[in-house]
A and B are shown apart, each in its own frame.
Chain A
Amino acid sequence: MAKLTMVQALNLALQQEMRNDDNVIVLGEDVGLDGGVFRVTEGLIQEFGEERVVDTPLAESGIVGMSIGMSLYGLKPVCEIQFSGFTYQNFHQIENHAARFRWRTQGRYTVPMVLRSPYGGGVRALEHHSESREAYWAHMPGIKMVIPSGPRNARALLVSAIRDPDPVIFFESKALYRAFREEVPEKEETLPLGKSQVVREGKDLTLIAYGAMMRPTLEAATELQEKLGVEAEVIDLLTVSPLDDTLFVKSVLKTGRAVVIHEAPRSFGAGAEIVSRLMEKSFYYLEAPIERVTGYDVVIPLYSREKEYLPNAHRITRAAKKVLAA
C-alpha cells in the first residue's frame, strides 16, 4: 500500500473512476494543464485528454449549470470549484436545480454530479479562501454534503460520491491536503455516504466532529486520556447531510455527555442540528448540557488572526472538562 497525502488520494479516486467509467468527466477552472490549483487533478489531462478533463471559462454558475445538463444526459460530471468561497456564484444552480430535478420530474431526471471544493482555514490564505460554509448545503433538501477527514476516507468517499445517483457537494479541507499521509490501498475502496464512524471508543464522553476538526478532536481525546484518565468516544461524521445520528445517539446513550466541534460559525451550524437530535433522542440520558466548540459568528479573520478563530485541542479539552464537571 502506498502512503498518500489527501491530494494524492483524491487524485487516485478520480483516476480510477475515470478509467472505470467513461461517463465520468472532470471540469472546472485550471483543472487541466495546471492540474488544479491544489493539484488534485494533476496528470488527468495527460491520461484522459481534453475531452474528459475540461478547462472551463471562469464562471462557476456556468460550470455547475453545465454539469447539471451533462448529468441529465447520463454523464457523471465531477466539477471543481476552485475555492468554496466561490461556490456562491453557483448557489442558485444547486438550490434551484441540482437539488430538485429528481423531485420536480418525479424521478424521471436525476443529477448524479459531484461538486468538489476546498474549504476551511489554516493555510494563511486571502479573504474568501478560508471559510467553512457546509451548513448552506446541508440545509438543502436533495443535496448530500460530504467532508472527509484524511487521505484514506477521502479517496473512498469520493469514489462513492461519483457513483452516487444524487448530487453531492464534496468539501476538501485545504489544511488537510498535505498535512499527513496514510496508507491508501491501490485496490478500489468505497465508504457509504450518510454513515458516520466511531474512530475511537470510550465510555465517559462523546466528541462529535468532521473534516479538519478531526485532528484537534483526536488530540484532545488523547490529552483527556493521558492527563485525566477520561475515555472519550470520538465520532467522525464523514457525511454532514444526510446526517447519520445513529452512532452519536448510541454513544451518548452510553456516555451521557457530548461536545460537538466544527470550524464553521456557531449559530445555525451543523452543531445546532446535532444537538437537536441529541435532545430528541437522548435527552433522558444526558448528564450535562452539551457543549459546542466552533468558529465564532464573524467572518473568519485574515491569516494573522485565524489561528485564534479556529477551534483547537485546547478549546476542545476545556469544553470536555466543563461537560465532565457538570
Chain B
Amino acid sequence: MPRKNINISDKIETLSILDEHGKLDEDLEPDIPEDELIKLLRGMLLGRKFDERMLNLQRQGRIGTFAPISGQEAAQIGAIALLRSSDWMVPAFRETAAEIWRGRSLESVIIYNSGYCEGAQIPENLNNLPISVPVGSQILHAVGLGWAMKYRKVDDVVMTIFGDGATSEGDFHEALNFAGVFQTPVIFVCQNNQWAISIPVHKQTRSKTLVQKALAYGLPGIQVDGNDVLAVYVAAQEAVARARAGGGPTLIECVTYRMTMHTTADDPTRYRSDEEVEMWRKRDPIERFQKYLLSRGTLSRDKLEGLEAEILTQIQTAIDQAEAEMTSLGDPVDMFDHSYEQMPAYLMEQKKAFLAELDESREEADNG
C-alpha cells in the first residue's frame, strides 16, 4: 500500500478582522451591539490605566511584586466578554483585565498585591478561581469544572487562560487530552505574548504555532490576532457556543505581546530589543479598536475623554478605599485561619503560643 496522508478532520484556522492599521475586513466584521462595543473598550482601557497605576504604586513601594498586562487587553477582554455569570473563569496570574471584567474589585487586586491574602477572597456570587502562580497548573482545574458541569447537565462553560510558556508544562498537555477524551465544555485561551520571562516563544517550542497542539488531542483550534479584539471576540463566541451546545473544548491562541516587564522584579532589556517592543507598540490593541469605533461613529473624541476621566476616578477611588481597608488588616494571628475547617489541636496550641509571645513582646516593647 502506498504511503498516504492521514486526513485529520479537526480544523486549525487563523483569524484577523481589524488589522494593525485599523483596516477592517468588512466581510468578517461581526455584528456586535454598540453598547457592547463600548463596554469592550471600557474594559480594555480600564485594564491599561489600572496597570499603569499599579506600576506607579509598585515603584513608590506602596504595593509588592506585580505582573503587568499592558498589550494584552484585547486578548483578555475579547475572550472573557463571552462568558455569562454562571460560567466559570480559571485564570493564571496575568489576567487582571479579565478578572476585573468578571467582577473582581480593583481594591482586592491592590490588597492582594500588598501582601494580604484577604485580596484573594472571592465573593460568593462570582464563579472565578483565584490567580494561579504555578504555571499551567490551573488548566486542569478547568477541565474538572467542565466535567462537573457536564455531569450536572447544565449548559455552562469554563474559560481558562494561560501563557505561551504554560504550553510546555505537562499539565497543559494532560488538560487538553482529558478535555478531548471527556469532551468537557472548556475554552482554552492561550495568551501567546511571545515571552515567558526571558524565553521567546520560538525557544519554547519547535511548533510553528501553539494552536496546532490542539490537533494532537483531537480539538478544534483557532489562532487569532490577539491585538484585534474583534477577532478574539468572534473566535471566543464560536468556541463558547460550541461548548455550550455540547460540542466540547476548543483551543484559542491569541497572538499578542507583553509590552512591559514580566513582573516588576524583571528587567526585559537584558533579553529583548527596543526595536521589537516598538514594532509591537504599533500594533496596540486599544488604539486600533478606538480608530475603528471612531470611524464607524460609535465613539467620539469627547466620549472617549469622558470615559478615560471616569476610569481614572474609578481607579483613584479604589486605591483610596483599598488603602483605608488595609489599615484594619494584617493582624498576624490571622495566618492560622483557613487551614482546615476545624483547627486541629496541635495548631490551636501553636496559635496560643503565638499569641502569648506576641503579648510578651508587646509588653517588652512598652517597657522599653
Q: Which residues of A contact B (CB under 8 A)?
A: 29-30, 32-35, 37, 55, 57-59, 61-62, 85-86, 88-89, 124-129, 266-267, 296-299, 301-309, 314-315, 318
Contacts and interface: CB of A to CB of B under 8 A. Distances in A.
B346 A89 contact: no
A255 B9 CA distance: 77
Nearest to A309: B335
A63 to B, nearest CB: 10
Contacts of B165: 57-58
B6 to A, nearest CB: 27
Nearest to A36: B198
B312 interface: no
A296 to B, nearest CB: 5
B347 interface: yes
B144 interface: no
Contacts of A124: 64-65, 115
A175 B270 CA distance: 24
Interface string B153-174: 0000000000001101110000
B64 A296 contact: no
A125 B133 CA distance: 12
Interface string B100-139: 0000000000001011110000000000000001111100
A304 B330 contact: yes
B27 interface: no
Given A29-B197, A55-B199, 15 more contacts: A32-B198, A55-B203, A57-B204, A58-B196, A62-B168, A62-B170, A86-B135, A88-B134, A89-B169, A296-B335, A296-B350, A297-B346, A297-B347, A305-B335, A308-B354
Interface in B312-368: 329-330, 332, 334-336, 339, 346-347, 350-351, 354, 357-358, 360-361
A37 B263 CA distance: 11
B298 interface: no
A296 B332 contact: no
B205 interface: yes
A297 to B, nearest CB: 6
Contacts of B151: none
A264 to B, nearest CB: 14
A34 B197 contact: yes
A322 to B, nearest CB: 11
A305 B357 contact: no
Contact of B270 (A35, A61, A127): A35
Given A33-B270, A126-B65, A305-B330, A57 B199 contact: yes
22 contacts: A33-B198, A33-B270, A34-B270, A34-B271, A35-B270, A37-B266, A57-B203, A58-B168, A59-B170, A62-B170, A85-B133, A86-B135, A89-B170, A124-B115, A296-B350, A297-B339, A298-B347, A304-B329, A305-B330, A305-B332, A306-B115, A315-B357
B335 A301 contact: yes
Nearest to B271: A33
A104 to B, nearest CB: 23
Contacts of B135: 58, 86
A298 B117 CA distance: 13
A18 B165 CA distance: 28
Interface in B185-222: 196-199, 203-205
B1 interface: no
Interface residues of B, number: 45
Contacts of B134: 85-86, 88-89, 128
B170 A304 contact: no
Contact of B339 (A55, A127, A298): A298
Contact of A61 (B170, B266, B354): B170
Given A89-B169, A298-B336, A318-B357, A55 B198 contact: yes
Contacts of A306: 115
A271 to B, nearest CB: 13
Given A58-B135, A85-B134, A297-B350, A30 B199 contact: yes
B265 interface: yes
A206 B91 CA distance: 49
A305 to B, nearest CB: 5
Contacts of A296: 335-336, 347, 350-351, 354
Nearest to A129: B133
B115 A303 contact: yes
A58 B271 contact: no
B54 to A, nearest CB: 14
B265 A37 contact: yes
A294 to B, nearest CB: 9
Nearest to B111: A304
B117 to A, nearest CB: 5
A127 B133 contact: yes
- Enumerate the 6 nearest inter-chain pairs by beta-carbon distance, A residue then B residue, closest first: A303-B115, A308-B332, A34-B198, A304-B115, A57-B168, A58-B165
Contact of A302 (B115, B199, B266, B350): B115
A133 to B, nearest CB: 14
Contacts of B266: 37
A266 B199 contact: no
A135 B166 CA distance: 28
B65 A125 contact: yes
Nearest to B353: A296
Interface in B219-277: 265-266, 270-271
Contacts of A303: 64, 115
A62 B173 CA distance: 13
Given A35-B270, A62-B168, A128-B133, A30 B197 contact: yes
